A and B are shown apart, each in its own frame.
Chain A
Amino acid sequence: MDPIIILQAGVATGTVLLFATLGEVLAERSGVLNLGVEGMMLIGAMTAFSVTISTGNPWIGVLAAMLAAGLISQIHAFISITLQADQVVSGLALTLVGTGISLVLGEGLSKAGTVSLMPNFSIPLLSAIPILGPIFFTNHSVLVYIGYLFTPLAWYYINRTRPGLHLRAVGEYPSAADALGINVFRMRYLYVFIGGMLAGLAGATLSLAVSPGWFSELTTGGQGWIAVGLVIFAQWDPVRAAIGSYAFGALRRLILDIQGPLLLFGFDNPFYYNSYLGFFLQMIPYAFTVIVLVIGSREAFRKRLGAPAALGEPYIRGERGK
C-alpha cells in the first residue's frame, strides 16, 4: 500500500483510459459521438495480442491494433455521416459488433501463453526527481511515455493550429465550415478514424503492457464506456481528459491493492478477511464515473460550457438552420 507504487501503477493503468478518451475527444470535437469505444478497444486488444503472437514483434502488434480499430470505426462513420443515422444507436451497434468480432477472432487466444510485451524503461535524470520521478518516469512501458506526449500535442493541435480550427468549426457550425470550403464529411470521417486508432492503441496498451493477455470481454471491463463518460467530465479538453484518466487509473489500482494487506490503518483489513466484500470495491470506478458525470454536467451548465454544438447531429448539405 505504498502510495508511490499505487500512483505509479495508476499512471500506467490510466494510460489506457487516456488514449481512449483523447480519441473520443477528437471524434466528438468534429461532431460525431462514437459510443463504440468499448468495441474498438476490444478489437485493438485482441489484434495487438494476436499479431504479436504471430509476428513476435509487439510494435507490429500495436500498429495492427490501431489500424484494425480505425477500420472498424469506419462502420460508424459510414452509418452516421453518410447514411445520417442516429449516432447513439450506431455507436452501440459498433460496440456489439466489435465485441462479437473480437470474441470470434480471439477464440483460443486466452490459452496462447505469453508474448513479448512493449518494452519498459526508466528515463534517465527525470527519474531522479523525488516523488514525481518514481511515479511518472521509472520503469514504465514505452506506451506510457507516448501518452505523456499525446496530451499536450492534442491540446496544441485543437487550440492552436489551423487544422485544429477546422476541426472545431466542423463540430460547432458545420454549415459555416462547409461555406469556407472545408469538407465536413471528409473531416468527420478522418476524426472518427483517428478516434478509432486511439481506441485501438488503448486496447493494445491493455493487452501488451498494463494487464497482458486476452481475457475476452473482461479485457476491457467497461473501460471504453468510462472513457466516454470521462469526455463529458473533461468537457472536450485534452488536459482535463488526462487528469481524469490518470486519477481513474490510480483509483483502479488502489482498489486492487487495498485487498492485499492484513492490516488497514491499524485494523484487521475487512477486505482481506471477507473476500466477497471486494465486490463493493469493484463498484467504485463505475459509481465514481456516475459522480464525475454529475459534476461535469453541473459545471458545464453553470459555466454555460457545453458539448460541441453540432455533436450528434448528422450534417445534411443545404438543410436550413444547421
Chain B
Amino acid sequence: MTESTVTKKRSFWRIRLEPRLDEPSTLLSLSVTLGAVVVALILGGVVIAAVGGNPFVSYAYIAKASFGDTGVLSDTIVKATPIILTALACSIAFRMKLWNIGAEGQFIMGAWGASAIVLTHMLPDESSRWVFIPVMALAGMSTGAAWGFIPGYLKAKFNVNEIISSLMLNYIAVSWVNFWIFGVWSEGGFQMSPKFPVGASLPRLSEYAKEFPIFRGLTTHGGLIFGFVAAIILWFIVYRSRWGYEIRLIGDNPQAAKYAGVSIVKNIILVMMLSGALAGLGGMSEVAGVVRRLQTSPINAGYGFTGIIVAWLAKLNPLVIILVSILFGALILAGREIQPAGIPKMIQGIILVCLIASDFLLRYRVRVVRGEEA
C-alpha cells in the first residue's frame, strides 16, 4: 500500500465560488453596479468603433449635449420625467416578480386618456389648470390602470403569462392611439391632434422667467413634481406599509405569503393596476407637459422599455430611480443626434446585460484558491 505516497501531488490555482450567506453590503452592491455600467460603456464603445465611429467622441458628445449648460440640463430632465414614472411602474410590479413589460402600452393609454378629456371637450376649454390638471391626471391614471388590469386579471384568473399579454397590449395600444391621431382627432389630416388649451398644459419653468430670469427658455415642466411625489409615495408603500410588506413577501416567497393568508390573486390585479396607473400618469405628463397635444412621436419613444432597465439598475428602489432616470434621460436626449441612430438603444441593452451578469458577483464570493489534487 505504498502507492498513495508514490503519486505526485500536483497543486494549482483555481477559482472557487462560494454562495454568499449574508446580504452584500451597500458599498459592494454599488461598486458592482457601477462596474457593470463601465463595462457596458466599454462594450458599447467597441461596437461603435467597429462600425467606424469614435466612441470617445460619441460619449463626450452625450455628456456635453445633456449636462453642458442649464438649457440642455433642463431638456435632460424633461426626458427623465416620463422615465421616472415608467420605471416606478415597472419597479412595483417587478418587486412582486410580476413581469409587467406593458408599461409602454400603459403609458400610451394614459396619454390617450388624458387627451380624451381635452379633445372631447368634457371640460370647458377655458377652465383653469387647477381643474384640468387633476382631471387629466386621474383620467390618464385610470386608462393606464385599466390597461394594466387586463394582463393582471388574465394572470390571476387563467394563469396567462403576463409578459406576453402585457407586451401584446403595447401593440394594441399603439394601434388604438394611431386610430384617434390619424382619424378622429387628426388636425387637418396631419398626424396630430389640435393643440390643447393653456389650461390643459402643465406649467413650464420658462413661464416664470419674468420673476426668475434664470428660468428663461427652460422646458422642465410640472410632470417632474408628479415623478417626485409618486416616488416618495411608492417608497412609503413598499418599505413602510403593510401592503408593501405583502408585495415584497409574495415576490420573495409566494408559498410563505400564501400560508400567511396574503391573497395573491388580489395583489396581482392590484399591483398591475397600480403599475399601469403610474405609467399612465407618465403618459399624461408627456402630452400635457411636452407636446401639449396628442401625437405619436414622443409618446411611443420607448419610455416604457427604458423604464424596465432603469428600475433594474436602481435595484427597484423608488428614490434611486429618480437619479438613474436622469442619467438615462441624458442618454436619450443626446442620443437623438448621434449616428447611427440605434446607439442609445444598443447601449441601454448592453447595460442591462452587464447588470444582470454582475448580479452573480453579489450572490457568490469568487475566490482564487490553491487546490491540491492527487
Contacts and interface: CB of A to CB of B under 8 A. Distances in A.
Contact of B51 (A89, A92, A104, A222): A104
A205 interface: no
B347 to A, nearest CB: 7
Interface residues on chain A, size class: 35 or more
Given A97-B350, A277-B183, 9 more contacts: A75-B353, A88-B99, A93-B349, A101-B342, A103-B341, A104-B342, A232-B164, A287-B168, A287-B172
B164 A229 contact: yes
Given A83-B360, A89-B312, A289-B168, A280 B343 contact: no
Contacts, number: 150
B339 interface: yes
6 contacts: A85-B360, A88-B163, A96-B349, A97-B350, A279-B175, A279-B176
Given A89-B312, A290-B168, A100 B163 contact: no
Nearest to A232: B161
Contact of A92 (B182, B346, B352): B352
B352 A283 contact: no
Interface in B333-353: 339-343, 345-350, 352-353
A97 B348 CA distance: 8
Interface string A208-241: 0000000010000110011011001000000000
Contacts of A99: 342, 345-346, 349
A85 B158 contact: no
Interface of A: 35, 39, 75, 78-79, 83-86, 88-90, 92-108, 216, 221-222, 225-226, 228-229, 232, 274, 276-277, 279-280, 282-283, 286-287, 289-290, 293-294, 297-298, 301
Given A276-B183, A286-B168, A107 B342 contact: yes
B237 interface: no
A79 B357 contact: yes
A290 B152 CA distance: 12
Given A97-B346, A232-B161, A297-B161, A279 B178 contact: yes
Contact of B353 (A94, A102, A106): A94
B169 interface: yes
Contact of B165 (A39, A276, A293): A293
Nearest to B165: A290
A182 B117 CA distance: 62
A161 B150 CA distance: 42
A297 B182 contact: no
Residue of A39, A85, A106, A226 with most chain B CB atoms under a 10 A cut-off: A85
A303 to B, nearest CB: 14
A221 to B, nearest CB: 8
A221 B154 CA distance: 24
A86 B161 contact: no
Which 3 A-B pairs give the minimum distances between C-beta atoms?
A103-B342, A100-B346, A96-B349
B356 interface: yes
Contacts of A225: 164, 167-168
A290 B154 contact: yes
A283 B169 CA distance: 9
B342 A100 contact: yes
B309 interface: yes
A277 B350 CA distance: 38
A84 B363 CA distance: 10
B253 to A, nearest CB: 15
A222 B48 CA distance: 26
B133 interface: no
B357 A85 contact: yes
B132 interface: no
Contacts of A78: 357
Contacts of B48: 104
